[in-house]
Amino acid sequence: MKVKNLKIVLSFLFLIVVIGLFKLQVINYSYYCSLSKENRIRINPIIASRGDIYDREGNVLAKSRLSFNLAVIPQEAKKNETLLADLSSVVGISEKRLRNNLKRNTINYFVPAVIAEDIPRQQALYIEENNLNYNGAIIQTAPLREYLYEESLAHVLGYVSKLNAREYKKLKYYGYKAIDLVGRAGIEKSYNSYLKGEDGGFQVEVDNRGRRLRLIGYKKPQKGKDIYLSIDVGLQNYIYSLIEKKKGAVCVWNPNDGKILAMVSVPSYNPNIFINPNDEKNKEIRSIFSSPPENSPLLNRNIQAIYPSGSVFKIVTVMCGLETQAINKQSEFNCPGYIRLGKSLFKCWYRKGHGDQNAVLALKNSCNVFCYKVGLKVGIDNLSDYARRFGYGDCTGIDLPSEKAGLVPDRHWKQKLYNERWYDGDTVSLSIGQGYLQATPLQILRMASVIANGGYLVTPGLVNRIEDVNMGVGKIESCNFKMENLDTMGEGMDLVVSETGTGKRAQVEGINIAGKTATIQNPHGKTHAGFVCFFPYDVPEHAMVVFIEHGGSGGYEAVGIAQKIISYMKEEDII
Amino acid sequence: MMNFKDKNLSLPLTYFLIVIVGFLALYSASFSKGEINNAEYISHQLIWIVLSLIAILFVLIIGHRRLLDFSYVLYAVGILLLIYVILVAQPRLGAGRWVSFVGINIQPSELMKLIFILALARFLSSYKYQENGIKCIIVALILTGLPVLLIVMQPDLGTALVFIPVALSMLYVWGFRLRYIMLMFISAIAASPLLWFLLKDYQKSRLMVFMNPDADPLGSGYTIIQSKIAIGSGGFFGKGWLGGTQSQLNFLPEHHTDFIFSGIGEEWGFLGALLIIALFYFLIMRGLDLAMHASNMSKKLLATGVCVLIAMQVIINICMCIGLMPVVGLPLPYISYGGSAMIVFSVLIGILFNIKFEAQ
């Protein structure tokens, strides 16, 4: 009887064992089967190199070079206590550091984790040759980004860096790996999906120590697509060397299709510091990220910095007067040096007054009073409408990330923001590009190009072609301006760069230049200098904006820099 | 004397089947990447099997009664060996469990399983529960407690724990009331937290890992995870003999010894594993039949002790492999590689054969 009870108890225990076994082997079979495959089948990735970036002439701007990474199999490092110490003495990185890297980069106990990146070739070969002493260590090759022109092209090209943990979580379902590089700014960011290659790899059967037993499959890595920019690297570097020590932005393009020849923003940064950061580089990166936003080297001032437009806005005001027929080409206003509006006095920059001015002369002399009067005559509604037609207040649509839209003020906007009605004084300020108006240098260039190309808003673009596929030209929209009015404006701008004009310092022998200077009042110090121009005047092929912070009134510094750039372009046969 | 006529051979046949299946499993476990690279495992195990058969013959010839006569002396020797192990022996695999005797490493704790069953059976069968109940139980508890304590101190928790159900079953069959056994069982469980303080770090980590194997998947949790992957990926029909990737590619540690069942589960699938379990189950049930129909108390107690010991080792070992129990380091009888366990369990089965043949 008692033995029988014992039998029942033991039978019950055996039943539990069988049920447990059934659950493991029959119910959860597929789960464990996949785990066993994961154990045994490993994919050794071959990282595809990123597409190269070239300028318009085919000069390399950014390329991938081969680098050697030291990786270890985490399981082996665990078994072989001295492995990391041994490797540390070869690569000269502290063991603690290697251990931290190992911890951070471990995905799976059998998948090699990179512990030192971009080690010198000699060290890599030494470790490969003495493989038996470093069991579990693996040398992997990986393409590494290299920017050949460092600071000069930083804002155009941007930079790449590895995914962070949060991004990896989001992107892993799209085939990204933790070690993948993504574009963080510039062309690298906006064309990331083209530049990014498709990784290949070996699928191998391995044993518990990660040793290859048998090749199961192979997929060839596919290099990313090469991108050819419209940039002229010689011009770009020249411009950078001119303004390196200043703060500001210069952009040169073709006013007819918006293809950018040069785009420089200073202060700049060296994008190579983001590639395989070490202590020194990290310090630089930290200092870049900790600088106040208005001084940040990461800021592309061409498209991300907004300023009051200054006197270049007079083009909009005068054009608005002509188009709405508030004035015609012959209409004259007298400039006594100021106008009185209620109790306030609005001065012209030329205290003595310009005397009688028509549209052409007002542009040439940058007469404030003429523009005040035109502005008051057309009214704020027309003025803001024309500012928008010239592309103010809206992104230019350039193929770079994080462009700013700027601001065109109007009645509604002011009511909403300040709960105040629009005053005539506001109109007067706006008519010379001061007050609430905010625009990026590129928007100003785009506005001036409307005069140059016969009334069209172009979409800026940096890319000529991707591999063999031509990018074409961005959207070109007609502003529906009258040709004769455009010609009047051109005439005025042409006179700006003449012996008696405000921009005479921009003159270059043999080239007829049309332009407009700008003084941008700056509440924090010396005025900013701006200059926008196009040339040759008769058949405009190039347009340029120069914007120098604290560059003095009347566009002083900007005009001088523009002159040098145009001379260079002439010398180099770019014009 | 022995009577070989008209004998029912189901018990020895089951035993031989288990040994053969076990040898095949070990053979496969000695394979790695398509070739034998642990030939000594195979040859050693063959020697153990031959020695086991000699041991069984020896038991059949001298009879279990002679063994019972010597049981107290053996008990004393066993206890001394256990003390010797604690005091002198070199730690091997984290715990000192071995004694070297004329060049052969033996594990006294394995030996003690046999001796303890003999001693307890002899002691209990000399008294009647109705007459000397309390006194006998106290002595029986001391007989059990002494080796358990010494083995815990080695430390070898798994082996120590297996003594307890064996002792309780024998007491129960002897006449001890179920309610007292339950009471002792409950108080043992209640006292188990105290045991925590006696455990070595590696034992604590094993227990923690049992609760959550993914906490340290490369370290202590590694074995249990790999074992579950091996068995689970075997599926219903298995990956075929010599076809297990987990064990063949060395992902599974200790796949010759404590985790040999994982290799069986992987290569032979649920069907193969079920066959092994069925063989053991049949062996144990036939053995308990002997206990049921035994002509005297000593045979009844011996058969019970032997069967419960084998059953507990099989159950605990498989539960460990499939992750239902913490890793305690108990071999699978007749299958795991290792001489001490092989010979001890063969002597035990020899005792069963002897009881059976005498009954016929």
In this complex, the residue of B173, B232, B292 whose CB is nearest that of residue A29 is: B232
**Confidence class for position B187, pLDDT limits 50, 70, 90:** confident
Phi, psi of A552 (to 5 degrees): 90, 165
Task: Check residue A51 and report its DSSP letter.
Answer: P
Q: Specify the pLDDT at position B4.
A: 45
Q: Answer yes or no: CATH 3.40.710.10 is held by domain A233-269+299-571.
A: yes
Cβ–Cβ gap A32/B273 under 8 Å = no
Q: Specify the pLDDT at position A396.
A: 92
Residue of A nearest to B217 (CA): A109
Alpha helices by DSSP H, A244-367: 279-290, 301-304, 314-323, 359-365
Average pLDDT in the B144-172 region? 86
**Confidence class for position A62, pLDDT limits 50, 70, 90:** very high
Which pairing describes strands A113-119 and A60-72: parallel, antiparallel, or unpaired?
antiparallel
Do A226 and A51 form a contact (C-beta atoms < 8 A)?
Answer: yes
Is pLDDT larger for residue B107 or for residue B38?
Answer: B107
CA distance A1 to A141: 73
Is pLDDT larger for residue A144 or for residue B115?
Answer: B115
Q: Specify the pLDDT at position A533.
A: 93
Residue of B nearest to A73 (CA): B218
In this complex, the residue of A6, A35, A74 whose CB is nearest that of residue B229 is: A35
Chain B residues in contact with A29 (beta carbon < 8 A): 232-233, 235-236
Chain A residues in contact with B288 (beta carbon < 8 A): 3, 6-7, 10
Chain B residues in contact with A11 (beta carbon < 8 A): 281, 285
In this complex, the residue of A17, A32, A39 whose CB is nearest that of residue B251 is: A39
CA distance A446 to A391: 7
Token pair 């014992």: residue = A6
Chain B residues in contact with A6 (beta carbon < 8 A): 169, 172-173, 288, 304, 308
Quick check: do A42-229 and A233-269+299-571 share a fold?
no
Q: Is A326 buried (19+), middle (13-18) or exposed (0-12) by CB count in 10 A?
A: middle
The encoded tokens of residue A298 equal: 């990461």
Is the per-residue pLDDT at A250 higher than 80?
yes
**Confidence class for position B210, pLDDT limits 50, 70, 90:** low
The CA-atom distances, in angstroms, between A311 and each of A506, A518, B26, B32 are: 17, 4, 92, 83
**Confidence class for position B209, pLDDT limits 50, 70, 90:** low
The encoded tokens of residue A194 equal: 């083209």
Cβ–Cβ gap A209/B250 under 8 Å = yes
Q: Is B102 buried (19+), middle (13-18) or exposed (0-12) by CB count in 10 A?
A: exposed
Per-chain mean pLDDT for chain A? 88
A222 closest CA partner among A45, A437, A429, A348: A45
Beta bridge partners of B252: none
pLDDT (tens digit per residue) in B73-92 = 999 999 998 888 877 755 54
Q: Specify the pLDDT at position A32.
A: 85
Average pLDDT in the A155-168 region? 85
Is the per-residue pLDDT at B171 higher than 80?
yes
Record the pTM: 0.64
- Sorted by sequence, the CB contacts under 8 Å of residue B61 that are 6+ apart come out as none
CB pairs under 8 A between A and B: 127
Name the architecture of domain A42-229: Alpha-Beta Complex (3.90)
Average pLDDT in the A503-526 region? 86
Average pLDDT in the A133-159 region? 88
Do A440 and A545 form a contact (C-beta atoms < 8 A)?
Answer: no
Phi, psi of A481 (to 5 degrees): -95, 155
- Helix, strand, coil percentages for chain B (3-state, nearest 5): 70, 5, 25
Average pLDDT in the A348-365 region? 89
Q: Is B313 on the interface with A (CB under 8 A)?
A: no
pLDDT (tens digit per residue) in B270-320 = 999 999 999 999 999 999 999 999 889 999 999 999 999 999 999 999 998
Q: How close is the nearest chain B Cα to the Cα of A39, in Å?
A: 8
Is pLDDT larger for residue A560 or for residue A177?
Answer: A560
Beta bridge partners of A391: none
The number of CA neighbours under 13 Å toward the Cβ of A173 is 3
- Helix, strand, coil percentages for chain A (3-state, nearest 5): 45, 25, 35
The ipTM value here is 0.89
To test the contact with chain A by mutation, choose from B249, B259, B289, B295 the residue with the greatest count of A C-beta atoms within 10 A, namely: B249
Q: Which of A92-96, B245-249, B303-307, B344-348 has the lowest mean pLDDT?
A: B245-249
Q: Specify the pLDDT at position B3.
A: 46
Residue of A nearest to B176 (CA): A2
Per-chain mean pLDDT for chain B? 83
Phi, psi of A470 (to 5 degrees): -70, 135
- Sorted by sequence, the CB contacts under 8 Å of residue B134 that are 6+ apart come out as none
Q: Specify the pLDDT at position B218.
A: 53
Q: Which of A181-185, A215-219, A270-274, B34-38 has the lowest mean pLDDT?
A: B34-38
**Confidence class for position B1, pLDDT limits 50, 70, 90:** very low
Do A435 and A308 form a contact (C-beta atoms < 8 A)?
Answer: yes
A544 closest CA partner among A255, A206, A337: A255
Task: Give the CA diameter of chain A.
Answer: 129
Which pairing describes strands A53-54 and A227-229: parallel, antiparallel, or unpaired?
parallel
Is the per-residue pLDDT at A12 higher than 50?
yes
pLDDT (tens digit per residue) in A515-537 = 999 888 877 778 889 999 998 99
Average pLDDT in the A35-50 region? 76
Average pLDDT in the B129-136 region? 77
Q: Where are the domains of chain A?
A: 42-229, 233-269+299-571
Is the per-residue pLDDT at A46 higher than 70?
yes
To test the contact with chain B by mutation, choose from A7, A9, A12, A21 the residue with the greatest count of B C-beta atoms within 10 A, namely: A21
Q: Specify the pLDDT at position A178.
A: 66
Cβ–Cβ gap B322/A24 under 8 Å = yes
Is the per-residue pLDDT at A218 higher than 90?
no
**Confidence class for position B101, pLDDT limits 50, 70, 90:** low
Residue ranges of B 193-232 with Cβ closer than 8 A to chain A: 217-219, 222, 226, 228-232
Chain A residues in contact with B284 (beta carbon < 8 A): 10
The CA-atom distances, in angstroms, between B179 and each of B144, B175, B186 are: 20, 12, 10
Cβ–Cβ gap A32/B229 under 8 Å = yes
Is pLDDT larger for residue B359 or for residue B3?
Answer: B359
* Number of Cβ within a 10 Å radius of residue A282: 11
Phi, psi of A346 (to 5 degrees): -110, 120
Is the per-residue pLDDT at A452 higher than 90?
yes
Element (H, E) at A161: strand A160-162
**Confidence class for position B9, pLDDT limits 50, 70, 90:** confident
Q: Is B318 on the interface with A (CB under 8 A)?
A: yes
Q: Specify the pLDDT at position B215.
A: 54
Is pLDDT larger for residue B15 or for residue B327?
Answer: B15
Q: Is B311 on the interface with A (CB under 8 A)?
A: yes
Is the per-residue pLDDT at B257 higher than 60?
yes
Do B297 and B346 form a contact (C-beta atoms < 8 A)?
Answer: no
- Give the SS3 label for residue B286: helix
The share of chain B scoring above pLDDT 70, in percent, equals 83
Q: Specify the pLDDT at position A324.
A: 92
Reply yes or no: is the peptide bond before residue B326 cis, omega within 30 of 0. no
The CA-atom distances, in angstroms, between A556 and each of A235, A452, B35 are: 22, 23, 85
CA distance A160 to A119: 19
